[in-house]
């Protein structure tokens, strides 16, 4: 029986191309059924044409279908890969511009902070509909989520769908280790590591080269004057463990950096960096669309993303360890059971099984608990239809609380609610005043 993989938000053409390049590189997956869905007809046509080019370049012969109707795309799916971005670049620009008028500085704005909170709130109505469709059309499918904010979306999906077949995927752990291996000048293939925490704020708990601990060497490097000007190395020097996301990301989840002009300068923090990513993604899509129109060749590059690896492992029985985001339920005993955590997961013919991790060092767990408190309040706002919890989430968010007094936080949330308007579920559109 042919394996069916449904891509939701396939109009994210550049990301879709990378995933398909990885999928079609596996001979066992060369004839899978890939169903592409998007609400933008032009982007869907572009994604379909690009998929055909990639399959040809990889020597694969998949069944490729395109669907404007989501339920049709999901029918009989074994795997659902979600990469939808609700509101696209326009909403992201709003998430930066409006808080900036209040003096709130953001770099990425897709995980915590005002940007992460409202990205989640405008994504939840879509996730609710997607979850209902999956429950009715393909209840045994594995839902592999790439859409941010990862922890909020995974918790919301898991609670509303009532399923343990939801796994959030992010490349941050892999690329952190990849870059550390290069920095330490050791072959990545000879490095063993263990990480856990929450998405974009997990921690490298063990890092070894052929059985030798690499942390002492990393500590020596951390005294380099240029490396000391990176947030991740600053956090490593003070916390004792290296975080698994970029300095831009890491700066947003703590109160120590973005609220201080001197720290922004010292650590070279690019305020609004994600808006450059948005612009580049839009430009890259246009380049791909024009190349297809002109029948020019497309560059086919793999991504080392986890979704293709998981699908290959489940389909072929090849065991792999990947990092996934799932409901905690005791996996990390000193973090909240209801929160979404990032832990090693075993993928094989039986599916995807998260592994239990020992309690985190207390200083790491303290930061993760703060992160998960904000996440919990955003999810509760949506599930309980309580607009006050939006404000509570912003009040507990470290970077927002460090930048604004509480009355201004409430005023900012009111403006964000009005600005995003119909993208939010009706019960959350109420303004409450400062």
Q: What pLDDT, in 10s, does the model give residues 208-243?
A: 999 999 999 999 999 999 999 999 999 999 999 999
Residue 8: domain span: 4-168+297-302
Is 148 assigned to a binding site? yes
Residue 132 placed within a domain: yes
The domain tally of the chain equals: 1
Q: What is the pLDDT of residues 276-304, one digit of tens each?
A: 888 888 888 888 888 888 888 777 778 88
Q: Which CATH number belongs to the domain containing residue 44 in this structure? A: 3.40.50.720
Residue 121 placed within a domain: yes
- Predicted pLDDT at 434: 63
pTM of the model: 0.95
Q: Which of 48, 67, 171, 389 is catalytic?
A: 171
Residue 317 placed within a domain: no
pLDDT at residue 105 is higher than 90: yes
Inter-axis angle of helices 13-24 and 41-58, nearest 10: 30
Q: Is 421 left (phi over 0), alpha (psi -120 to 50) or beta?
A: left
- The radius of gyration computed from the CA coordinates of the chain, to the nearest angstrom, equals 21
Q: Where is average pLDDT lowest: 8-17, 144-153, 205-214, 357-366?
A: 8-17
- The rounded mean pLDDT for the chain is 94
Residue 157 placed within a domain: yes
User: What is the rounded distance in angstroms from the CA atom of residue 323 to the CA atom of residue 261?
Assistant: 35
Residue 290 placed within a domain: no
Is 200 assigned to a binding site? yes
Catalytic annotation on 260?
A: no
As a three-state string, the secondary structure of 9-60 is CCCCHHHHHHHHHHHHCCHHHCCCEEEEECCCHHHHHHHHHHHHHHHHHHCC
Q: What is the pLDDT of residues 57-104, one digit of tens each?
A: 899 999 999 999 999 999 999 999 999 989 887 888 999 999 999 999
Residue 255 placed within a domain: no
Is 345 assigned to a binding site? no
Residue 58 placed within a domain: yes
Residue 237 placed within a domain: no
Q: What is the pLDDT of residues 63-74, one digit of tens each?
A: 999 999 999 999
DSSP category for residue 361: P
pLDDT at residue 168 is higher than 80: yes
């Amino acid at each position: 029986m042919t394996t069916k993989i449904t891509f939701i938000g396939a109009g994210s053409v550049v990301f879709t191309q990378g995933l398909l390049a990885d999928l079609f590189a596996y001979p066992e997956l060369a004839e899978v059924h890939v169903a592409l869905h998007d609400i933008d007809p032009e982007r869907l046509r572009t994604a379909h044409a690009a998929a055909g080019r990639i399959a040809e370049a990889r020597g694969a012969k998949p069944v490729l279908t395109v669907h404007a109707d989501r339920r049709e795309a999901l029918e009989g799916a074994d795997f659902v890969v979600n990469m939808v971005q609700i509101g696209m670049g326009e909403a992201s620009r709003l998430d930066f511009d409006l808080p900036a008028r209040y003096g709130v500085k953001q770099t990425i704005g897709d995980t915590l902070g005002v940007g992460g909170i409202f990205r989640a709130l405008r994504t939840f109505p879509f996730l609710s509909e997607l979850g209902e469709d999956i429950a009715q059309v393909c209840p045994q499918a594995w839902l592999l989520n790439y859409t941010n904010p990862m922890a909020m979306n995974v918790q919301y999906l898991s609670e509303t769908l009532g399923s343990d077949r939801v796994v959030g995927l992010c490349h941050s752990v892999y690329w952190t280790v990849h870059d550390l291996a290069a920095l330490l000048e050791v072959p990545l293939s000879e490095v063993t590591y263990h990480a856990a925490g929450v998405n974009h704020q997990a921690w490298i708990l063990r890092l070894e080269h052929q059985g030798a601990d690499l942390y002492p060497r990393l500590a020596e490097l951390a005294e380099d004057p240029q490396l000391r000007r990176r947030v991740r190395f600053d956090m490593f020097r003070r916390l004792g463990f290296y975080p698994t996301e970029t300095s831009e990301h890491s700066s947003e989840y703590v109160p120590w950096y973005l609220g201080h002009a001197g720290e922004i300068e010292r650590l070279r923090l690019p305020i609004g960096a994600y808006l450059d990513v948005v612009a580049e993604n839009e430009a890259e899509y246009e380049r791909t669309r024009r190349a297809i129109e002109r029948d020019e060749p497309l560059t086919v590059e793999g991504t080392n993303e986890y979704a293709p690896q998981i699908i290959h492992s489940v389909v072929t029985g090849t065991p792999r360890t990947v990092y996934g985001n799932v409901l905690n339920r005791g996996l990390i005993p000193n973090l909240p059971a209801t929160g979404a955590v990032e832990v090693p997961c075993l993928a094989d013919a039986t599916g995807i099984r998260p592994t239990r991790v020992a309690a985190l060092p207390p200083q790491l767990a303290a930061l993760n608990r703060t992160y998960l408190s904000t996440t919990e309040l955003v999810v509760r706002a949506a599930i309980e239809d309580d607009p006050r919890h939006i404000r509570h989430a912003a009040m507990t968010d470290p970077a927002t609380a460090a930048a604004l007094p509480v009355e201004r936080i409430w005023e900012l949330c009111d403006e964000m609610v009005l600005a995003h308007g119909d993208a939010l579920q009706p019960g959350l559109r109420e303004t409450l005043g400062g």
